[in-house]
Chain A
Protein backbone atom coordinates (compact mmCIF):
# COMPACT_ATOMS: atom_id res chain seq x y z
CA UNK A 1 0.00 0.00 0.00
CA UNK A 2 1.38 3.35 -1.00
CA UNK A 3 0.40 5.07 2.23
CA UNK A 4 3.35 3.52 4.07
CA UNK A 5 6.87 2.46 3.16
CA UNK A 6 7.78 -1.23 2.96
CA UNK A 7 9.69 -0.94 6.24
CA UNK A 8 6.65 0.54 8.02
CA UNK A 9 4.46 -2.22 6.62
CA UNK A 10 6.98 -4.86 7.68
CA UNK A 11 7.09 -3.54 11.24
CA UNK A 12 3.30 -3.24 11.27
CA UNK A 13 2.62 -6.70 9.88
CA UNK A 14 5.41 -8.38 11.87
CA UNK A 15 5.92 -6.18 14.91
CA UNK A 16 9.01 -6.92 16.99
CA UNK A 17 8.97 -7.16 20.77
CA UNK A 18 5.19 -7.17 21.28
CA UNK A 19 4.04 -8.01 24.77
CA UNK A 20 4.76 -7.12 28.36
CA UNK A 21 7.52 -7.88 30.88
CA UNK A 22 6.59 -9.11 34.30
CA UNK A 23 8.31 -7.16 37.06
CA UNK A 24 9.72 -4.74 34.51
CA UNK A 25 12.30 -2.29 35.80
CA UNK A 26 10.61 0.57 34.01
CA UNK A 27 7.15 0.98 32.46
CA UNK A 28 6.02 3.99 30.47
CA UNK A 29 2.65 4.76 28.96
CA UNK A 30 1.98 7.74 26.70
CA UNK A 31 -0.84 9.04 24.52
CA UNK A 32 -4.52 8.69 25.23
CA UNK A 33 -7.31 6.54 23.90
CA UNK A 34 -9.42 9.58 23.13
CA UNK A 35 -6.92 10.67 20.49
CA UNK A 36 -6.63 7.12 19.24
CA UNK A 37 -3.04 6.24 20.23
CA UNK A 38 -1.63 4.69 23.39
CA UNK A 39 1.85 3.20 23.68
CA UNK A 40 3.06 1.25 26.66
CA UNK A 41 6.72 0.28 26.94
CA UNK A 42 8.31 -2.20 29.36
CA UNK A 43 12.06 -2.22 30.07
CA UNK A 44 14.30 -4.81 31.69
CA UNK A 45 17.44 -3.00 32.73
CA UNK A 46 20.69 -4.50 33.95
CA UNK A 47 23.99 -2.69 34.52
CA UNK A 48 22.63 0.44 32.88
CA UNK A 49 21.79 -1.56 29.78
CA UNK A 50 18.40 -2.29 28.24
CA UNK A 51 18.42 -6.05 28.37
CA UNK A 52 14.90 -6.49 27.12
CA UNK A 53 12.06 -4.31 25.90
CA UNK A 54 8.44 -5.05 25.05
CA UNK A 55 5.57 -2.88 23.91
CA UNK A 56 1.81 -2.79 23.71
CA UNK A 57 0.15 -0.29 21.40
CA UNK A 58 -3.40 0.79 20.72
CA UNK A 59 -3.26 2.78 17.52
CA UNK A 60 -2.91 2.97 13.80
CA UNK A 61 -0.43 1.19 11.56
CA UNK A 62 2.26 3.81 11.94
CA UNK A 63 1.87 3.83 15.74
CA UNK A 64 2.45 0.07 15.88
CA UNK A 65 5.35 0.27 13.40
CA UNK A 66 6.94 3.19 15.30
CA UNK A 67 6.72 1.28 18.59
CA UNK A 68 8.21 -1.81 17.02
CA UNK A 69 11.06 0.13 15.41
CA UNK A 70 11.81 2.08 18.61
CA UNK A 71 12.10 -1.13 20.63
CA UNK A 72 14.52 -2.55 18.05
CA UNK A 73 16.59 0.63 18.22
CA UNK A 74 17.02 0.61 22.01
CA UNK A 75 17.33 -3.10 22.69
CA UNK A 76 20.80 -3.91 24.01
CA UNK A 77 21.73 -0.23 24.21
CA UNK A 78 22.73 1.74 27.28
CA UNK A 79 20.12 3.98 28.87
CA UNK A 80 22.06 6.99 27.67
CA UNK A 81 21.98 5.70 24.09
CA UNK A 82 18.29 4.90 24.34
CA UNK A 83 17.51 8.40 25.55
CA UNK A 84 19.31 9.81 22.54
CA UNK A 85 16.97 8.08 20.11
CA UNK A 86 14.77 10.83 18.70
CA UNK A 87 11.49 10.63 16.86
CA UNK A 88 13.40 11.65 13.74
CA UNK A 89 15.68 8.65 14.14
CA UNK A 90 12.60 6.44 14.30
CA UNK A 91 11.10 8.07 11.19
CA UNK A 92 14.37 7.72 9.29
CA UNK A 93 14.71 4.10 10.28
CA UNK A 94 11.17 3.50 9.01
CA UNK A 95 12.04 5.08 5.68
CA UNK A 96 9.67 7.98 6.38
CA UNK A 97 6.11 8.47 7.60
CA UNK A 98 3.28 10.50 6.06
CA UNK A 99 3.21 14.05 7.52
CA UNK A 100 -0.01 13.50 9.46
CA UNK A 101 1.52 10.38 11.06
CA UNK A 102 4.71 11.95 12.37
CA UNK A 103 3.18 12.27 15.83
CA UNK A 104 3.28 8.48 16.10
CA UNK A 105 7.09 8.60 16.05
CA UNK A 106 7.04 11.31 18.72
CA UNK A 107 4.90 9.03 20.82
CA UNK A 108 7.47 6.24 20.42
CA UNK A 109 10.28 8.52 21.61
CA UNK A 110 8.18 9.66 24.55
CA UNK A 111 7.27 6.08 25.46
CA UNK A 112 10.95 5.16 25.80
CA UNK A 113 11.64 8.27 27.88
CA UNK A 114 8.62 7.66 30.05
CA UNK A 115 9.75 4.08 30.77
CA UNK A 116 13.29 5.23 31.65
CA UNK A 117 11.86 7.95 33.89
CA UNK A 118 9.84 5.29 35.70
CA UNK A 119 13.02 3.27 36.18
CA UNK A 120 14.84 6.31 37.57
CA UNK A 121 11.93 7.13 39.90
CA UNK A 122 11.67 3.56 41.18
CA UNK A 123 15.40 3.40 41.91
CA UNK A 124 15.81 6.88 43.30
CA UNK A 125 18.17 7.90 40.52
CA UNK A 126 18.48 11.65 40.02
CA UNK A 127 17.85 13.02 36.51
CA UNK A 128 17.28 16.22 34.63
CA UNK A 129 13.48 16.68 34.68
CA UNK A 130 13.56 18.91 31.60
CA UNK A 131 14.58 15.94 29.50
CA UNK A 132 11.35 14.14 30.40
CA UNK A 133 8.33 16.18 29.36
CA UNK A 134 4.96 15.25 30.81
CA UNK A 135 2.93 13.33 28.28
CA UNK A 136 0.14 15.87 27.96
CA UNK A 137 2.70 18.55 27.16
CA UNK A 138 4.53 16.54 24.57
CA UNK A 139 4.51 17.38 20.92
CA UNK A 140 2.49 14.36 19.92
CA UNK A 141 -0.91 15.76 20.81
CA UNK A 142 -0.10 19.19 19.45
CA UNK A 143 1.18 18.07 16.08
CA UNK A 144 -2.04 16.68 14.69
Chain B
Protein backbone atom coordinates (compact mmCIF):
# COMPACT_ATOMS: atom_id res chain seq x y z
CA UNK B 1 0.00 0.00 0.00
CA UNK B 2 1.15 3.52 -0.77
CA UNK B 3 2.04 5.69 2.22
CA UNK B 4 1.33 9.32 1.50
CA UNK B 5 2.04 12.13 3.92
CA UNK B 6 -0.29 14.95 2.90
CA UNK B 7 -0.39 16.99 6.10
CA UNK B 8 2.60 19.26 5.65
CA UNK B 9 0.75 22.23 7.12
CA UNK B 10 0.55 20.33 10.41
CA UNK B 11 4.23 19.53 10.37
CA UNK B 12 6.90 18.42 7.95
CA UNK B 13 9.46 15.66 7.84
CA UNK B 14 12.81 17.02 8.92
CA UNK B 15 15.25 17.35 6.04
CA UNK B 16 18.62 15.65 5.92
CA UNK B 17 20.17 19.10 5.60
CA UNK B 18 18.61 20.20 8.91
CA UNK B 19 19.48 16.97 10.70
CA UNK B 20 23.11 17.06 9.60
CA UNK B 21 23.45 20.67 10.64
CA UNK B 22 22.03 19.90 14.08
CA UNK B 23 23.96 16.78 15.05
CA UNK B 24 27.33 18.40 15.80
CA UNK B 25 25.55 20.77 18.20
CA UNK B 26 24.41 17.80 20.24
CA UNK B 27 27.55 15.74 20.15
CA UNK B 28 30.50 18.15 19.75
CA UNK B 29 29.55 21.79 20.21
CA UNK B 30 27.18 21.04 23.05
CA UNK B 31 28.34 23.83 25.33
CA UNK B 32 26.07 26.50 26.72
CA UNK B 33 26.37 29.49 24.39
CA UNK B 34 26.53 31.76 27.43
CA UNK B 35 29.71 30.05 28.68
CA UNK B 36 33.05 31.65 27.97
CA UNK B 37 35.16 28.55 27.36
CA UNK B 38 35.76 27.19 23.87
CA UNK B 39 33.02 24.60 23.69
CA UNK B 40 30.49 27.22 24.82
CA UNK B 41 31.78 29.73 22.30
CA UNK B 42 31.47 27.13 19.54
CA UNK B 43 27.82 26.83 20.38
CA UNK B 44 27.56 30.63 20.44
CA UNK B 45 29.09 30.84 16.97
CA UNK B 46 26.55 28.33 15.67
CA UNK B 47 23.77 30.30 17.28
CA UNK B 48 24.86 33.61 15.78
CA UNK B 49 25.49 32.08 12.36
CA UNK B 50 21.93 30.69 12.49
CA UNK B 51 20.62 34.14 13.41
CA UNK B 52 22.39 35.67 10.42
CA UNK B 53 21.01 32.96 8.14
CA UNK B 54 17.42 33.36 9.32
CA UNK B 55 17.72 37.15 9.00
CA UNK B 56 19.09 36.95 5.46
CA UNK B 57 16.21 34.68 4.37
CA UNK B 58 13.67 37.42 5.11
CA UNK B 59 15.77 40.49 4.35
CA UNK B 60 16.33 41.39 8.01
CA UNK B 61 19.38 42.18 10.16
CA UNK B 62 20.64 39.46 12.54
CA UNK B 63 19.95 41.59 15.63
CA UNK B 64 16.31 41.80 14.60
CA UNK B 65 15.87 38.03 15.10
CA UNK B 66 14.89 36.53 18.48
CA UNK B 67 14.67 32.77 18.78
CA UNK B 68 11.62 31.30 20.49
CA UNK B 69 10.09 27.91 21.20
CA UNK B 70 7.95 28.16 18.07
CA UNK B 71 5.32 30.11 16.20
CA UNK B 72 2.89 30.38 19.08
CA UNK B 73 5.41 31.96 21.41
CA UNK B 74 6.53 34.35 18.67
CA UNK B 75 2.90 35.39 18.05
CA UNK B 76 2.29 35.89 21.76
CA UNK B 77 5.42 37.97 22.18
CA UNK B 78 4.81 40.13 19.12
CA UNK B 79 1.26 40.98 20.14
CA UNK B 80 2.14 41.56 23.80
CA UNK B 81 4.99 43.82 22.70
CA UNK B 82 2.74 45.95 20.50
CA UNK B 83 0.15 46.11 23.28
CA UNK B 84 2.68 47.41 25.79
CA UNK B 85 3.98 50.00 23.32
CA UNK B 86 0.43 51.01 22.43
CA UNK B 87 -0.82 51.23 26.01
CA UNK B 88 2.05 53.57 26.88
CA UNK B 89 0.68 56.01 24.27
CA UNK B 90 -2.93 55.40 25.26
CA UNK B 91 -3.54 53.41 22.07
CA UNK B 92 -5.48 50.27 22.86
CA UNK B 93 -7.08 49.19 19.61
CA UNK B 94 -5.87 46.17 17.61
CA UNK B 95 -6.93 45.02 14.15
CA UNK B 96 -6.77 41.41 13.06
CA UNK B 97 -8.89 38.92 11.12
CA UNK B 98 -11.46 36.30 12.01
CA UNK B 99 -9.40 33.41 10.74
CA UNK B 100 -6.07 33.89 12.48
CA UNK B 101 -4.34 31.04 14.27
CA UNK B 102 -5.46 30.57 17.88
CA UNK B 103 -2.04 31.72 19.07
CA UNK B 104 -3.14 35.15 17.81
CA UNK B 105 -6.88 35.00 18.51
CA UNK B 106 -6.49 33.76 22.08
CA UNK B 107 -3.82 36.35 22.87
CA UNK B 108 -6.14 39.04 21.50
CA UNK B 109 -9.05 37.68 23.56
CA UNK B 110 -6.88 37.98 26.66
CA UNK B 111 -5.96 41.55 25.79
CA UNK B 112 -9.64 42.38 25.38
CA UNK B 113 -10.13 41.34 28.99
CA UNK B 114 -7.28 43.67 29.87
CA UNK B 115 -9.07 46.63 28.29
CA UNK B 116 -7.99 46.51 24.67
CA UNK B 117 -10.48 46.77 21.84
CA UNK B 118 -10.08 44.29 18.99
CA UNK B 119 -11.52 44.53 15.49
CA UNK B 120 -11.55 41.24 13.62
CA UNK B 121 -11.88 41.84 9.90
CA UNK B 122 -14.08 39.67 7.76
CA UNK B 123 -12.19 37.42 5.36
CA UNK B 124 -15.07 36.88 2.92
CA UNK B 125 -15.76 33.69 1.03
CA UNK B 126 -12.37 34.01 -0.63
CA UNK B 127 -10.39 33.94 2.61
CA UNK B 128 -8.77 37.24 1.72
CA UNK B 129 -8.71 40.70 3.26
CA UNK B 130 -7.84 43.84 1.34
CA UNK B 131 -5.47 46.63 2.29
CA UNK B 132 -8.38 49.05 1.89
CA UNK B 133 -10.36 47.15 4.54
CA UNK B 134 -7.41 47.39 6.89
CA UNK B 135 -7.06 51.09 6.12
CA UNK B 136 -10.74 51.70 6.82
CA UNK B 137 -10.48 49.92 10.17
CA UNK B 138 -7.45 51.88 11.40
CA UNK B 139 -8.33 54.44 14.08
CA UNK B 140 -6.45 57.12 15.99
CA UNK B 141 -5.93 54.67 18.84
CA UNK B 142 -4.90 51.64 16.76
CA UNK B 143 -1.57 50.28 18.02
CA UNK B 144 -1.28 47.07 16.00
CA UNK B 145 -2.44 45.32 12.87
CA UNK B 146 -1.76 41.58 13.02
CA UNK B 147 -2.72 39.58 9.93
CA UNK B 148 -1.43 36.19 8.97
CA UNK B 149 0.72 35.91 5.86
CA UNK B 150 -0.98 32.70 4.69
CA UNK B 151 -3.81 30.81 6.33
CA UNK B 152 -2.94 27.46 7.87
CA UNK B 153 -6.16 25.74 6.87
CA UNK B 154 -7.11 27.13 3.49
CA UNK B 155 -3.74 28.50 2.37
CA UNK B 156 -4.91 31.85 1.08
CA UNK B 157 -2.12 34.43 0.93
CA UNK B 158 -2.93 37.93 2.12
CA UNK B 159 -1.75 41.10 0.32
CA UNK B 160 0.93 41.59 2.97
CA UNK B 161 2.98 44.27 1.22
CA UNK B 162 -0.11 46.42 0.59
CA UNK B 163 -1.31 45.97 4.15
CA UNK B 164 2.16 46.84 5.45
CA UNK B 165 2.08 50.00 3.37
CA UNK B 166 -1.22 51.25 4.76
CA UNK B 167 -0.07 50.44 8.30
CA UNK B 168 3.10 52.44 7.87
CA UNK B 169 1.29 55.37 6.29
CA UNK B 170 -0.88 55.43 9.39
CA UNK B 171 2.03 54.90 11.78
CA UNK B 172 0.64 51.61 13.08
CA UNK B 173 2.80 48.56 13.90
CA UNK B 174 2.27 45.62 11.58
CA UNK B 175 2.82 42.00 12.67
CA UNK B 176 2.32 38.97 10.48
CA UNK B 177 2.11 35.34 11.53
CA UNK B 178 4.16 33.84 8.70
CA UNK B 179 4.29 30.34 10.14
CA UNK B 180 2.79 28.81 6.99
CA UNK B 181 4.51 31.18 4.58
CA UNK B 182 8.17 31.21 5.64
CA UNK B 183 10.20 28.91 3.42
CA UNK B 184 7.31 28.59 0.96
CA UNK B 185 6.72 32.15 -0.23
CA UNK B 186 9.30 34.92 -0.78
CA UNK B 187 9.43 37.31 2.17
CA UNK B 188 11.20 40.68 2.39
CA UNK B 189 10.36 42.44 5.62
CA UNK B 190 11.55 45.83 4.38
CA UNK B 191 9.88 45.80 0.99
CA UNK B 192 6.69 44.51 2.64
CA UNK B 193 6.77 47.00 5.53
CA UNK B 194 6.58 44.23 8.11
CA UNK B 195 7.48 45.29 11.66
CA UNK B 196 7.21 41.89 13.31
CA UNK B 197 7.00 38.40 11.86
CA UNK B 198 6.61 34.94 13.42
CA UNK B 199 7.91 31.68 12.02
CA UNK B 200 8.18 28.07 13.13
CA UNK B 201 10.97 25.63 12.24
CA UNK B 202 8.96 22.48 11.72
CA UNK B 203 6.77 23.95 8.97
CA UNK B 204 9.65 24.00 6.50
CA UNK B 205 11.44 20.70 7.24
CA UNK B 206 13.22 21.98 10.34
CA UNK B 207 12.86 20.61 13.86
CA UNK B 208 9.88 21.08 16.19
CA UNK B 209 9.99 23.25 19.30
CA UNK B 210 11.86 26.14 17.74
CA UNK B 211 10.77 29.33 16.04
CA UNK B 212 11.79 32.90 15.49
CA UNK B 213 10.38 36.35 15.95
CA UNK B 214 11.59 39.13 13.70
CA UNK B 215 11.13 42.57 15.24
CA UNK B 216 12.24 45.67 13.38
CA UNK B 217 15.15 47.51 14.99
CA UNK B 218 13.83 49.98 17.56
CA UNK B 219 10.94 47.79 18.72
CA UNK B 220 11.70 46.87 22.33
CA UNK B 221 10.29 43.40 22.91
CA UNK B 222 8.24 42.60 25.99
CA UNK B 223 9.32 39.40 27.69
CA UNK B 224 6.98 36.45 27.80
CA UNK B 225 9.57 34.37 29.64
CA UNK B 226 11.56 36.04 32.41
CA UNK B 227 14.94 34.84 33.58
CA UNK B 228 18.48 35.01 32.25
CA UNK B 229 19.89 37.44 29.73
CA UNK B 230 19.68 35.18 26.68
CA UNK B 231 18.48 36.71 23.41
CA UNK B 232 19.60 40.18 24.56
CA UNK B 233 17.47 39.79 27.64
CA UNK B 234 14.25 39.41 25.69
CA UNK B 235 13.75 35.66 25.87
CA UNK B 236 15.14 33.86 28.89
CA UNK B 237 16.25 30.25 28.90
CA UNK B 238 19.29 28.50 27.46
CA UNK B 239 18.95 28.60 23.71
CA UNK B 240 17.90 25.43 21.90
CA UNK B 241 21.10 25.58 19.86
CA UNK B 242 20.69 22.34 17.85
CA UNK B 243 17.07 23.27 17.08
CA UNK B 244 17.98 26.80 16.09
CA UNK B 245 20.84 25.64 13.87
CA UNK B 246 18.55 23.02 12.29
CA UNK B 247 15.81 25.57 11.67
CA UNK B 248 18.24 27.99 10.04
CA UNK B 249 19.65 25.25 7.79
CA UNK B 250 16.14 24.16 6.80
CA UNK B 251 15.02 27.73 6.09
CA UNK B 252 18.06 28.46 3.96
CA UNK B 253 17.53 25.23 2.03
CA UNK B 254 13.86 26.09 1.50
CA UNK B 255 14.63 29.65 0.40
CA UNK B 256 17.44 28.52 -1.92
CA UNK B 257 14.98 26.21 -3.70
CA UNK B 258 11.86 28.31 -3.25
CA UNK B 259 10.92 28.89 -6.90
CA UNK B 260 11.74 25.37 -7.97
CA UNK B 261 9.79 23.81 -5.09
CA UNK B 262 6.83 26.16 -5.55
CA UNK B 263 6.62 25.28 -9.22
CA UNK B 264 6.65 21.57 -8.54
CA UNK B 265 4.23 21.64 -5.61
CA UNK B 266 1.85 24.03 -7.39
CA UNK B 267 1.54 21.57 -10.27
CA UNK B 268 0.67 18.76 -7.82
CA UNK B 269 -1.81 21.02 -6.01
CA UNK B 270 -3.55 22.10 -9.20
CA UNK B 271 -3.95 18.53 -10.42
CA UNK B 272 -5.38 17.53 -7.04
CA UNK B 273 -7.81 20.47 -7.03
CA UNK B 274 -8.85 19.72 -10.59
CA UNK B 275 -9.42 16.03 -9.85
CA UNK B 276 -11.29 16.51 -6.57
CA UNK B 277 -13.52 19.17 -8.13
CA UNK B 278 -15.12 16.39 -10.17
CA UNK B 279 -16.72 14.93 -7.03
CA UNK B 280 -20.35 16.11 -7.01
CA UNK B 281 -21.41 18.65 -4.38
CA UNK B 282 -18.00 19.67 -3.16
CA UNK B 283 -16.23 23.01 -3.07
CA UNK B 284 -12.69 24.29 -2.72
CA UNK B 285 -12.34 26.31 0.46
CA UNK B 286 -10.76 29.71 -0.10
CA UNK B 287 -9.77 31.40 -3.32
CA UNK B 288 -7.69 29.32 -5.70
CA UNK B 289 -5.21 32.18 -5.93
CA UNK B 290 -3.21 33.61 -4.29
CA UNK B 291 -2.78 30.39 -2.38
CA UNK B 292 0.10 28.45 -0.81
CA UNK B 293 1.68 26.10 -3.35
CA UNK B 294 0.80 22.96 -1.37
CA UNK B 295 -2.65 23.72 0.07
CA UNK B 296 -5.79 21.86 -0.99
CA UNK B 297 -8.91 22.17 1.17
CA UNK B 298 -12.34 20.91 0.17
CA UNK B 299 -15.75 20.53 1.75
CA UNK B 300 -17.79 17.48 0.72
CA UNK B 301 -21.46 17.79 1.46
CA UNK B 302 -23.23 15.08 3.45
CA UNK B 303 -20.24 13.53 5.21
CA UNK B 304 -18.21 14.12 8.33
CA UNK B 305 -14.47 14.74 8.29
CA UNK B 306 -13.17 12.45 11.02
CA UNK B 307 -14.57 9.30 9.48
CA UNK B 308 -13.13 10.48 6.16
CA UNK B 309 -9.67 10.83 7.76
CA UNK B 310 -9.84 7.39 9.38
CA UNK B 311 -10.75 5.73 6.10
CA UNK B 312 -8.02 7.62 4.26
CA UNK B 313 -5.53 6.60 6.95
CA UNK B 314 -6.51 3.00 6.31
CA UNK B 315 -5.58 3.65 2.66
CA UNK B 316 -2.20 5.04 3.70
CA UNK B 317 -3.11 8.72 3.30
CA UNK B 318 -2.36 11.14 6.17
CA UNK B 319 -4.61 14.20 5.95
CA UNK B 320 -6.53 16.55 8.24
CA UNK B 321 -9.99 18.05 8.61
CA UNK B 322 -11.71 21.01 10.19
CA UNK B 323 -14.53 18.87 11.56
CA UNK B 324 -15.55 19.30 15.19
CA UNK B 325 -14.79 15.66 15.89
CA UNK B 326 -11.14 16.18 15.10
CA UNK B 327 -10.93 19.24 17.33
CA UNK B 328 -12.64 17.85 20.41
CA UNK B 329 -15.19 20.66 20.43
CA UNK B 330 -18.73 20.99 19.16
CA UNK B 331 -17.84 23.58 16.55
CA UNK B 332 -16.04 22.93 13.32
CA UNK B 333 -13.03 25.00 12.27
CA UNK B 334 -13.34 28.75 12.91
CA UNK B 335 -11.57 29.30 9.59
CA UNK B 336 -14.26 27.49 7.60
CA UNK B 337 -16.99 29.30 9.53
CA UNK B 338 -15.19 32.60 8.86
CA UNK B 339 -15.35 32.03 5.08
CA UNK B 340 -19.07 31.42 5.43
CA UNK B 341 -19.34 27.65 5.35
CA UNK B 342 -22.40 26.50 7.32
CA UNK B 343 -21.66 24.15 10.25
CA UNK B 344 -23.11 21.14 8.43
CA UNK B 345 -20.81 21.65 5.48
CA UNK B 346 -17.72 22.62 7.51
CA UNK B 347 -17.86 19.25 9.31
CA UNK B 348 -17.15 17.58 5.97
CA UNK B 349 -13.84 19.25 5.20
CA UNK B 350 -10.60 17.68 4.05
CA UNK B 351 -7.22 19.40 4.02
CA UNK B 352 -4.37 17.95 1.99
CA UNK B 353 -1.11 19.86 2.21
CA UNK B 354 1.70 18.84 -0.09
CA UNK B 355 5.42 19.43 -0.21
CA UNK B 356 8.15 18.93 -2.80
CA UNK B 357 8.60 15.32 -1.69
CA UNK B 358 5.12 14.37 -2.82
CA UNK B 359 4.77 13.00 -6.34
CA UNK B 360 2.24 13.06 -9.17
CA UNK B 361 1.85 9.32 -8.66
CA UNK B 362 0.71 9.99 -5.10
CA UNK B 363 -1.70 12.65 -6.30
CA UNK B 364 -3.23 10.20 -8.80
CA UNK B 365 -3.52 7.57 -6.05
CA UNK B 366 -5.36 10.07 -3.84
CA UNK B 367 -7.62 11.00 -6.75
CA UNK B 368 -8.51 7.33 -7.11
CA UNK B 369 -9.14 6.69 -3.40
CA UNK B 370 -10.76 9.89 -2.11
CA UNK B 371 -13.85 9.85 -4.39
CA UNK B 372 -14.49 6.20 -3.40
CA UNK B 373 -14.28 6.99 0.30
CA UNK B 374 -16.56 10.02 -0.11
CA UNK B 375 -19.12 7.90 -1.96
CA UNK B 376 -18.91 5.13 0.64
CA UNK B 377 -19.58 7.57 3.49
CA UNK B 378 -22.34 9.33 1.59
CA UNK B 379 -24.07 6.00 1.06
CA UNK B 380 -24.40 5.52 4.79
CA UNK B 381 -25.21 9.16 5.59
CA UNK B 382 -28.83 10.07 6.38
CA UNK B 383 -27.93 13.69 5.57
CA UNK B 384 -26.81 12.73 2.08
CA UNK B 385 -29.93 10.61 1.57
CA UNK B 386 -32.15 13.56 2.43
CA UNK B 387 -30.26 15.74 -0.03
CA UNK B 388 -30.52 13.09 -2.73
CA UNK B 389 -34.26 12.67 -2.20
CA UNK B 390 -34.63 16.42 -2.50
CA UNK B 391 -35.95 16.81 1.05
CA UNK B 392 -33.18 19.32 1.66
CA UNK B 393 -31.42 21.74 -0.63
CA UNK B 394 -27.80 21.10 -1.54
CA UNK B 395 -25.59 23.88 -0.27
CA UNK B 396 -22.62 23.05 -2.47
Q: Which residues of A contact B (CB under 8 A)?
A: 1, 9, 12-13, 15, 18-20, 29, 33-40, 55-61, 63-64, 100-101, 141, 144
Contact = CB atoms under 8 A, between A and B. Distances in A.
B382 A61 contact: no
29 contacts: A1-B313, A12-B310, A18-B379, A18-B380, A19-B380, A29-B382, A33-B344, A34-B344, A35-B324, A35-B343, A36-B304, A36-B324, A36-B325, A38-B383, A55-B380, A56-B385, A58-B381, A60-B304, A60-B305, A60-B307, A60-B323, A60-B326, A61-B306, A61-B310, A61-B325, A63-B304, A63-B325, A64-B380, A101-B325
B201 to A, nearest CB: 26
Interface in B287-314: 302-307, 310-311, 313-314
Interface string B344-375: 10010000000000000000000000000000
Nearest to A59: B304
Contact of A60 (B306, B329, B384): B306
A101 B307 CA distance: 13
Contacts of B302: 58
Contacts of A101: 325
Contacts of B379: 18
A125 to B, nearest CB: 25
A56 B330 contact: no
A19 to B, nearest CB: 8
B268 to A, nearest CB: 26
B307 A61 contact: yes
Given A40-B382, A64-B380, A59 B344 contact: no
B218 interface: no
Contacts of A39: 382
B31 interface: no
Contacts of A13: 311, 314
B380 A100 contact: no
Nearest to A54: B380
Nearest to B324: A36
B332 interface: yes
A57 B385 CA distance: 10
A60 B325 contact: yes
A36 B211 CA distance: 35
A12 B307 contact: yes
B381 A144 contact: no
A42 to B, nearest CB: 10
A64 B310 CA distance: 12
A141 B330 CA distance: 9
A144 to B, nearest CB: 5
9 tightest Cβ-Cβ pairs between the two chains A and B: A60-B325, A60-B306, A40-B382, A33-B344, A56-B382, A58-B381, A58-B383, A34-B343, A36-B347
Contact of B332 (A9, A36, A37, A59): A36
Contacts of A61: 306-307, 310, 325
A128 B323 CA distance: 37
Contacts of A12: 307, 310
B328 interface: yes
Contacts of A34: 343-344
Given A12-B307, A64-B307, A33 B343 contact: yes
A18 B380 CA distance: 7
Contacts of B306: 59-61
B307 A56 contact: no
B325 to A, nearest CB: 4
B329 A144 contact: yes
Contacts of B383: 33, 38, 58
A55 B381 CA distance: 9
B307 A59 contact: yes
A142 to B, nearest CB: 10
Nearest to B344: A33
B102 to A, nearest CB: 18
Nearest to A19: B380
A118 to B, nearest CB: 14
Nearest to B314: A13
Contacts of A37: 304
Nearest to B384: A58
Interface string B315-352: 00000000111101110100000000001100100000
Contact of B380 (A9, A35, A57): A57
A144 B330 contact: yes
A108 B381 CA distance: 15
Nearest to B385: A56
A59 B309 CA distance: 12
A9 to B, nearest CB: 8
A20 B382 CA distance: 9
Nearest to A13: B314
A59 B381 CA distance: 8
A60 B348 CA distance: 10
Nearest to B326: A60
A19 B384 CA distance: 13
Contacts of B343: 33-36
